[in-house]
Amino acid sequence: MNYPLFITVLFFSFLSINCQAGLFRAESETLNSIRVNDKNKTEAPTYEFVSASFVNEKRDFEINSDFSMFADPTGNASNKAYLYIMDARYSVVPDFMTIRCGRSFDVVNTVGPSSVDILSAEFYLMNKQVRLGAFVGIERKLESFDSDLHSNIAGVRADYHSDDRQPLYLSTKFEQRVNVSNNNSMEDLLQFSGKKPLPGAWNPEFIIDSVSDVYNSNLNRLEFGFDVYPSIVTFSKIRFMTYDVLPQTGIEQPIFSLFSTGPLYEGRYQFEKKLSPKFTGSFSVFYDDYLLVGTQRTSGLGGEIEGKFLHDSGTKFNNVVYYFESYGGTAIGDRIGAQTETSKKNEFYGLLDMTYYEKITSSRRGAFTGEAGWTRYLGQKFKLTLSAQASSNNVLKEDFRSVARLTYLLWDEI
């Protein structure tokens, strides 16, 4: 079957049926690399990503699509394609009921964002301050083109937001999952979340989010904290989290349970200040503590210091110094990047990433990656980026790569 062409025709069929004024966005990106693999054979993986969305003027009709194709002209891998999104949303009864169907990336109905084949209905009450929803679907997780993990899911939700300039947001969701790819393991997820900004000094914004698995009597996640703005140029974020997912649940065994056998506690802090109109500095730290095995706990800590600078010439610079430490070892590094626009049609960028690490595998050495690229705008909508990358690390002493990326970008009114 001519899969991409079928999707394209389907998308534009929807669009032509509902041909109205609205906002249209399309993006096509082609990535290609030529490399020699570990069997000393040349391979040329080529990816094509195409996404498009349309929403009409009244915003009561919307369609989205996103798919990818993979090919290797050298014949070292078979051609593949995958559909990420192909969904439509329509307001059946204006200001009261909306339905959505198709393969979607959902941030509204499901507990946590997910890629899902969904049929959902949403109802609005009290001038849309209250929203009630229900859905059924199949959640999919794509880890490689050869695996398609999925769960059967169904759920309901209720959201409320107050009608003032510092609105209170409250949301609760219930989702039942049968993880088909994981021996039909069951989860009944219950989510409560809320957010409330307060006016006045420092303008604090409180936020909380919790997910419990009531079927397995487990608190999967609880995160809470607040953001404060001591001045118009200063920002600070504090977060606390506990996290614990069971190894036998989930669409597949969670990575967390490969390392941990019990609850994790995390604290994070970030401070950011716009020191001048052209320079912003940021500082962030985290500390994690979790159950490793038996009664033995372990911890991880790290942080970043980041600066962004805009030079009078229009060149942007950024620098990040980072540090991570765990029982897996330590890593310290520096990322430096610069980007300049030499004309309206040409951009150049360069970046360096230098890391020194010591790992429990006794590997002690540095990794270096340098990349330089040139972006050329072709006409109004095309963007061609050519880049060359050199790196040295514990896997390859010398590694040279070049990447060509052709992007077609369209964001327009029709």
Partner 1 sequence: MKLSMAFIIFLLGFNLRAFASDMTGGYNHEMHLQKVFKVNSIECSHCHNFNLDPKGKEVKLNQAATASVLKMPLKEICHECHRSEIARYKDAPKTCFTCHKTMENIKRIKPTNHENISWKTTHSIEARVQGESCLNCHMTSQCSKCHLERNDIEMRNHPKNFRFFHSVQARGQPQRCDACHTKTFCVNCHLGKN
10-49 positions binding partner 1, by CB under 8 A = 12, 23-28, 30-33, 45-49
Ranges within 265-284 binding partner 1 (CB under 8 A) = 266, 270, 272, 280, 282, 284
Residue choice 135, 226, 235, 349 for contact with partner 1 (CB under 8 A) = 235
Ranges within 180-209 binding partner 1 (CB under 8 A) = 191, 193-195, 207-209
**In 3-state terms, the chain is what percent helix, strand and coil (to 5)?**
5, 70, 25
Lay out the site mask for partner 1 across 136-175 (x = CB under 8 A, - = otherwise).
-----xxxxx-x-x---------x-x-x-----x-x----
Contact range with partner 1 by CB under 8 A, out of 248-256, 309-317, 341-349: 248-256
Contact range with partner 1 by CB under 8 A, out of 264-272, 309-317, 340-348: 264-272
State the Cα–Cα distance between residues 115 and 107, nearest whole angstrom.
9
Residue choice 78, 312, 395, 398 for contact with partner 1 (CB under 8 A) = 395
Using a CB cutoff of 8 Å and minimum separation of 24, what contacts does 265-269 make?
265/240, 265/241, 265/289, 265/290, 266/239, 266/240, 266/241, 266/242, 267/238, 267/239, 267/240, 267/241, 268/225, 268/237, 268/238, 268/239, 268/240, 268/241, 269/236, 269/237, 269/238, 269/239
Residue choice 1, 17, 107, 201 for contact with partner 1 (CB under 8 A) = 107
**Closest C-alpha among 80, 81, 102 to residue 90:** 102
State the Cα–Cα distance between residues 359 and 104, nearest whole angstrom.
40
β-pair partners for 286 = 268, 302
| 269: amino acid identity, one letter | Y
> Which residue has 């609005």 as its token pair?
124
Nearer to partner 1 among residue 46 and residue 212 (C-beta): 46
Residue choice 93, 262, 394, 400 for contact with partner 1 (CB under 8 A) = 394
Nearer to partner 1 among residue 136 and residue 241 (C-beta): 241
Nearer to partner 1 among residue 298 and residue 315 (C-beta): 298
> What would the two tokens of residue 63 be?
């369609």
Ranges within 339-378 binding partner 1 (CB under 8 A) = 351, 353-355, 357, 359, 361, 367-369, 371
Residue choice 59, 345, 364, 376 for contact with partner 1 (CB under 8 A) = 59
| 177: amino acid identity, one letter | R
Residue choice 108, 130, 136, 246 for contact with partner 1 (CB under 8 A) = 108
Q: Counting contacts by CB under 8 A, is residue 252 touching partner 1?
A: yes
State the Cα–Cα distance between residues 295 and 375, nearest whole angstrom.
54
Count of beta carbons in the 10 Å neighbourhood of residue 315 = 15
Q: Which helix (H) or strand (E) holds 223?
A: strand 218-231
Count of beta carbons in the 10 Å neighbourhood of residue 306 = 17
Q: Counting contacts by CB under 8 A, is residue 218 touching partner 1?
A: no
Q: Counting contacts by CB under 8 A, is residue 298 touching partner 1?
A: yes
Contact range with partner 1 by CB under 8 A, out of 258-266, 309-317, 338-346: 258-266
